[in-house]
A and B are shown apart, each in its own frame.
Chain A
Amino acid sequence: MQNLIMQMLEGTVTSLQVFFLTLLFSLPLGFVVAKGRMSRNFLLRGIVNLYIQIMRGTPLILQLIFVYFAPYYVVGVSYDRFTAVIVAFVLNYSAYFAEIYRSGLQSIEKGQYEASKVLGFSKTHTFFYIVLPQVIKRILPSLGNEVVTLVKDTALAQTIGVSELFRVAQNAASRMFSTMPIFVAGVFYFVMNYIVSKLFDFFEKKLSYYR
């Protein structure tokens, strides 16, 4: 039993690596995608829109397989599985985050930009000090939703052979002829997401000092 827990903790480390690396890249990248999605250039807007549609319109499990195997079939090179997982997750989550950012950006009243312009703020100052803080407050609930989903989605990394928490649990289950490890894994996911939710609650409270 102790051995099992140790193995599952190791798997959890891999799951957490996927989780944090995905957030590290997709949270900022989502902003770039959102900007492209709102661009006045119709070609750029069209391409970004198509990308978002594909990411949202096909299963993540399929995207994982595609990202890992497509380079091999097209140019004959294969690469690290873990890297492939991160690439697929970042591509997928950037698209979702982009749509959340867009909803937030578009909800900011025109008057906020006008007041900033009249007061002489630069575009950068307006974005970072006036717009962004208000956007963050507004999108926090949807962002929390997405991050909780990401914790659970890390289980898909095993599709291309990355041994994360859920794969470890399944292996143990077949070794032990028992579903118990699967339920233990469930507890692990639940605890991780409990922490994520509490963290988001904390930030929401911190930002509830206005309106």
Chain B
Amino acid sequence: MGNLMIKAENISKSFGTLEVLHDISFSLERGNVLSIIGPSGSGKSTLLRIITQLEKADGGSLEIKGEYLFKDGVYSKTEVQKRIGLFTGLVFQSFNLFPHFSVLRNITEAQRAVLKRSKEEAEEKAYALLKRMSLADKAKSYPCELSGGQMQRVSIARALALDPEILFFDEPTSALDPELTREILNVIRSLAEEKMTMVVVTHEMNFAKGISDHAIFMEGGYIVEEGDPISLFEHPQNRRTQEFVKSFE
């Protein structure tokens, strides 16, 4: 399998009669960053939700680290699904922190409940991550006491605490103002520098261009165009990609 982290082949998905994904195929290698751009309703979030197992695909195959999550539309056994789930982490647009837990417990809960780490080990990990997110002083705070940017950094720490091998971001800055957006983008950029394998759904074109190794433009459930980010963003071939990229200038 080498360094192939994700191999998606002909993934399809419908909600009722509405086809939201048609024959989506792509692959991602270890240490690479893939960005997915496209207008609302293009299916990019659904694709992310299928890979992170929040939705089920109807057809196609998906291999993560050489194991099939589903093959020709048939899902693997629950244990396999769970094991693959441990490889993947997801950062949501709306953070989805647990409001009744302190920042610290938001980050330790899954380490303890899922990975069965000891309290000390989990907290040590959490403090290290908080320090890295410049939030060391917020460990005892509650999510309601944080700014949007701080909440999103906590949710990134929460995902990283489980040592995922691939980290997914679903429009991580769409709920934030420009200043807080920069805060989050810097964190993602530093993860990219450390060669974290990531898939980022975003509207931040310049950012995507700067950090990704590969970019995909989706519309209406199709991959309309893909390639290296410079050519995709600066010299798009497809007329729709051209219009979309232009609308952000």
Chain A interface (Cβ < 8 Å from any Cβ of B): 109, 111-112, 114-115, 117-122, 125, 129-130, 133-134, 137, 209-211
Contact = CB atoms under 8 A, between A and B. Distances in A.
Contacts of A209: 142
Name A's interface SS: helix
A117 to B, nearest CB: 6
A120 B83 CA distance: 10
A179 to B, nearest CB: 49
A122 B54 CA distance: 14
21 contacts: A109-B96, A111-B96, A112-B98, A114-B54, A114-B96, A115-B92, A115-B96, A115-B97, A117-B53, A118-B54, A118-B159, A120-B85, A120-B86, A120-B113, A120-B114, A120-B162, A122-B113, A129-B109, A209-B142, A210-B100, A210-B144
A137 B92 contact: no
Most chain B beta-carbon contacts within 10 A, residue among A109, A114, A119:
A119
Nearest to B93: A111
Given A120-B113, A137-B100, A209-B142, 5 more contacts: A111-B92, A111-B94, A118-B89, A119-B110, A121-B109
A114 B92 contact: yes
Contact of A117 (B54, B95, B159): B54
3 nearest A-B residue pairs (beta carbon): A111-B96, A119-B110, A115-B96
A118 B142 contact: no
A109 B95 CA distance: 12
B40 to A, nearest CB: 18
A114 B89 CA distance: 12
A125 B143 contact: no
B156 to A, nearest CB: 13
Nearest to B85: A120
Contacts of B143: 210
Nearest to B114: A120
Contact of B113 (A121, A133, A137): A121
B82 interface: yes
B163 to A, nearest CB: 12
A211 B99 contact: yes
B158 A119 contact: yes
Contacts of B82: 120
Contacts of B142: 209-211
Nearest to A133: B100
Contact of B99 (A114, A120, A134): A134
Contacts of A112: 96, 98
A121 B110 contact: yes
B52 interface: yes
Contacts of A134: 99-100
Nearest to A121: B113
Most chain B beta-carbon contacts within 10 A, residue among A109, A114, A133:
A114
Contacts of A115: 92, 96-98
Contacts of B97: 115
Contact of A118 (B85, B98, B113): B85
A129 B89 CA distance: 20
A112 to B, nearest CB: 6
B104 interface: no
Nearest to A122: B113
A138 to B, nearest CB: 11
